[in-house]
Amino acid sequence: MLVSFVIPCFNAIDKIGRCMASLERLHFDPALYEALFVDDCSTDGTDELIKKTCTQVENWRFIQLERNSGSPSRPRNKGIEEARGKYIYFLDCDDEILPDALNELTRLAEETDACLIRSELLAENGKQRKRMNQMDSWHSALTKKEKIELIIKKQSTVVTSFVKADLLRKHSIRWPEHLRMGEDTVFLATMLAHAEVVEYLASPTFIYFKIPSMTPASTQRYGRRELSDHLEVWSSTQQLLEPLGINYIQVRLNVGLRVSIESLIFKNRGDVNVETFDKFSRFVRTHWAILKKFKYSRRINEVLLSIQSGEYAAFLKLTKPRLLIAGHDLKFIEDATPELSEYFDIRFDKWQGHAIHDEVQSRECLEWAEYIWCEWLLGNAEWYAKHKKPRQRLVVRMHRMELARDHGSNMDLDKVDAVVAVSTYFFERLLEKYPNIPRHKARLMHNYVRVDDYDTTWHPDRLFTLGIIGVLPSRKGYKKALEILKELKKHDVRFNLKVFGKRAEDLAWVAKNPTEMAYFSDCQTYIEENGLQDSVDFVGHVDIKKELARQKVGYVLSVSDPDLDFPGPESFHLAIADGFAGGGVSLVQHWPGAEYIWPENSLGKNQDAVVDEVIKFANEEPSFQTASQLGMSFLRENYNVSKFSVEFNCLFLELI
């Protein structure tokens, strides 16, 4: 047996096929190589697929570990133990070997008696293939030291090395199983330190796939464990190469250190404690004479200086990505600042209107930002999409009103990384209104509620007090609320209605609209004709979190028109959340999409259903309290601010 492929596998059922297919396309005598697929206890059927395939292909073997090891290192070491070939080729299960690779590698190895061969690769990102790991200055007259130094300086430490099995066994070289990051660097350095003959093949031997996947953002994080691994890797590699006269810190660490700091900024798990930071700081100070000469951006240098000076608090602040939140009305996002600040360094660009802003300020904010969140798909989104830089990530969140405007059509979608809708129904409406937005850029992220900020003081009068939060414009259904009140008073005269928000005459655009004013005039006439004057109270624009309890509101009504035209019905309607969070019950006269957002038992098909539900609760206080508590639990589970901030952070992690 001439060559043994060692291929670690774990939950790769959706990508291992291309690796297997590439092995079948090899222009190499099948009797001269074997493929060892070492499964790390997959749970998605990968093991069964490999096992079945290996029974059909000669010299393909399935090996499975007794328990999951958590990294590819143990499977690779098992492969070393089981390999029967003179040479071992390490290949990842999501990469492809090129058809002539083994012919070229074995020819070079036999001609030169090479212990180790490094080759070029093709990097595939789904759009193009790029040739990498080239070393143009390589030639046969180079010394061993010069060759190794060139490999360390010019090549990435990809796992795909072609190595004599005897080299690994003679020197007990194994993949470091305790490391979860950087293990390939240590393994390569160990081989280089012991190899007598090192060669380079000036052509690609495999395709490295770097295509974005659906890997959860939580697995793409960088924190205490990863940093500790890197510190060990850097020190170990320095020690391995020093006897060869090679200073790894000087030759290569400019890349590794930059990547580590960038990961701490953009993938930070937030768990780097003082102890780990102190280790990092000591390492940096030890090698500061070299590190201070590295050419980094101002941003990276700021972080590096905080590490060198041992300023932990400054380090924590500097290793948060810079998030800019821009928009004219930030009521749906600004309140989450304390939670979002755990992940981001935040600034605001507050616009004076949908398309009115201080452009000088916006440009200053843009220059500072790494992430941009445009609250509302309006002029702010157009402006930032036009001016953002390639290094920045831009997310736009749409609520409802934007579907009546054309900003989504005018926005440069190539510059926008994601567009967020606040509800399932409006996710589809967004794509329907703006077909220029590709589905893969659309995201769903619900609003949040600070449940614990509400006063939930109980009073028996709550059983007879309705509330409607916001009656402008007419589509909010003020007239329906009055009709519900009229029906309820037939059963008990104690029923009354509290109206929160501004009156029609308080908003200029409503006051100037004859149709709108006619509607609210009709509402006033209805109140007078039905003797509701003493039962309807305009509370005004107040702090809802306190006033619902103070006004003894038990039921918050959501009776908006079920409009199917654009912009459509309610997108989320936070008033419903206010009702539950304030210790009451929210009742929804069904509008399209409400069923995807709110509890089924809070939805009524028509006004009669809402009336019946209120009467039941008024007569059965325990039922009211149960419904209220269930609503509160629903909010805590689905719409709490901590969950929102985690989803917010994960979205930007996904877009890195």
In terms of Cβ atoms closer than 10 Å to its own Cβ (0-12, 13-18, 19+), residue 428 is middle
Average pLDDT over residues 432-438: 96
Average pLDDT over residues 199-209: 95
Task: Copy the structure tokens of residue 464.
Answer: 């007879």
Three-class SS state of 276: helix
Average pLDDT over residues 55-76: 95
Residue that has been written with the tokens 């749409």 in this structure: 398
pTM of the predicted model as reported, rounded to 2 decimal places: 0.89
Return the beta strands (E) in 91-239 as ranges: 96-97, 116-124, 129-132, 162-164, 198-209
Q: Which amino acid is at 304?
A: L
Nearest to 317 by CA among 342, 281, 292, 280: 342
DSSP string of 278-339?
A: HHHHHHHHHTHHHHTTS---HHHHHHHHHHHTT-HHHHHHHTS-EEEEEES--TTTGGGHHH
Task: Copy the structure tokens of residue 603.
Answer: 């939805």
The confidence score (pLDDT) of residue 211 equals 64
The confidence score (pLDDT) of residue 565 equals 87
Q: Vertex 431, ends 430 and 436: CA angle to 5°? A: 115
Nearest to 569 by CA among 591, 595, 596, 598: 591
Nearest to 357 by CA among 334, 382, 336, 337: 382
Q: pLDDT above 70 covers what percent of the chain?
A: 99
Residue that has been written with the tokens 């080759």 in this structure: 119
Three-class SS state of 38: strand
How far is residue 238's CA from residue 247's CA, in Å, rounded to a whole number? 6
The confidence score (pLDDT) of residue 220 equals 76
How far is residue 302's CA from residue 309's CA, in Å, rounded to a whole number? 11
Return the beta strands (E) in 59-192 as ranges: 60-64, 87-90, 96-97, 116-124, 129-132, 162-164
Q: Vertex 175, ends 211 and 9: CA angle to 5°? A: 45
Please say if the pLDDT value at position 482 is more than 90: yes
Q: What is the pLDDT of residues 289-306, one digit of tens each?
A: 999 999 999 999 999 999
Q: What is the pLDDT of residues 393-412, one digit of tens each?
A: 999 999 999 999 999 999 99
Q: What backbone torsions phi and psi does residue 562 show, to the nearest 5 degrees?
A: -80, 60
Q: Give the strand pairing for 198-209 and 96-97.
A: antiparallel
How far is residue 201's CA from residue 113's CA, in Å, rounded to a whole number? 14
Q: What backbone torsions phi and psi does residue 591 show, to the nearest 5 degrees?
A: -125, 150
Q: What is the pLDDT of residues 537-580, one digit of tens each?
A: 999 999 999 999 999 999 999 999 998 889 999 999 999 999 99
Task: Copy the structure tokens of residue 555.
Answer: 């039921």
Rg (CA), the chain: 32
Q: Which amino acid is at 320?
A: K
Strand order in the sheet with 322-327: 345-350, 322-327, 371-375, 393-398, 418-421, 442-444
Half-sphere exposure of 81 (CA within 13 A, CB side): 11
The confidence score (pLDDT) of residue 213 equals 47
Provide the terminal-to-terminal Cα distance of the chain, rounded to the nearest Å: 44
Least confident of 286-290, 380-384, 395-399, 506-510: 506-510
Task: Copy the structure tokens of residue 623.
Answer: 């039922």
How far is residue 627's CA from residue 614's CA, in Å, rounded to a whole number? 11
Nearest to 354 by CA among 335, 336, 381: 381
Q: pLDDT above 90 covers what percent of the chain?
A: 95
Residue that has been written with the tokens 């501004």 in this structure: 502
How far is residue 122's CA from residue 130's CA, in Å, rounded to a whole number? 5
How far is residue 234's CA from residue 237's CA, in Å, rounded to a whole number? 5
Partners of residue 89 on adjacent β-strands: 5, 162
Task: Copy the structure tokens of residue 131.
Answer: 């040739």
CB atoms within 10 A of CB 528: 10
Please state, rounded to an integer, the average pLDDT across all residues of the chain.
95
Partners of residue 285 on adjacent β-strands: none
Q: What is the pLDDT of residues 125-136, one digit of tens each?
A: 888 899 999 999
Do 417 and 384 meet the contact criterion of CB atoms below 8 Å apart?
no
The confidence score (pLDDT) of residue 312 equals 98
Task: Give kind and range of the element (H or E) at residue 342.
Answer: none
Please say if the pLDDT value at position 420 is more than 90: yes
How far is residue 11's CA from residue 554's CA, in Å, rounded to a whole number? 51
Nearest to 159 by CA among 194, 121, 125, 129: 121
The confidence score (pLDDT) of residue 489 equals 98
Average pLDDT over residues 52-73: 95
Nearest to 91 by CA among 58, 60, 129, 68: 60
Least confident of 48-57, 158-167, 300-309, 509-518: 158-167
Please say if the pLDDT value at position 218 is more than 60: no
Task: Copy the structure tokens of residue 191.
Answer: 């081989």
Task: Copy the structure tokens of residue 492.
Answer: 């008990």
Average pLDDT over residues 586-594: 96
